[in-house]
Amino acid sequence: MKRLIETLAALPLLALPGGSVALAGVAEREPPSAVLWLLVIGIAALSWVMACRRWWLPLAIWVPAALFISSLIADVADPVIGPALREELGLGYILQLDLAGALVLVLPLMVANMWFTRRE
């Protein structure tokens, strides 16, 4: 009887996308797309405010942002986690992650360049 109950309890796990029990909940570790876009807006605003003080201050944001984005992109590029993410979250999320990551990396550099050229 106990074996039957364990088997019935495990059936919903087999219905997960790809039938992968080990990768269940991969999407739980990834930030939602709304958080990604709020991060882009926050980085842009912080870069602007910091550039008003000194033109080179947005460059200080670039290193932590690059490390954070590279950790997210590394999950997508992983041969095991990447397909599970594409299956759970869809290709639209991956495209948004790439676009938001590119903007987070470029925005501090753009703002610093804009304020540097203004000072000359």
pLDDT band at 20 (very low <50, low <70, confident <90, very high): very low
Instruction: Give 38-69 pLDDT, tens digit per residue.
Output: 999 999 999 999 999 999 999 999 999 999 99
DSSP track, the chain: -HHHHHHHHHHHHHTSGGG-STTTTGGGGSPPHHHHHHHHHHHHHHHHHHHHH-TTTTHHHHHHHHHHHHHHHHHHHSTTHHHHHHHHH-HHHHHHHHHHHHHHHHHHHHHHHHHHHHH-
User: Does the model's pTM come out above 0.95?
Assistant: no
Q: Give the residue, 108 or 14, on which the prediction is more confident.
A: 108
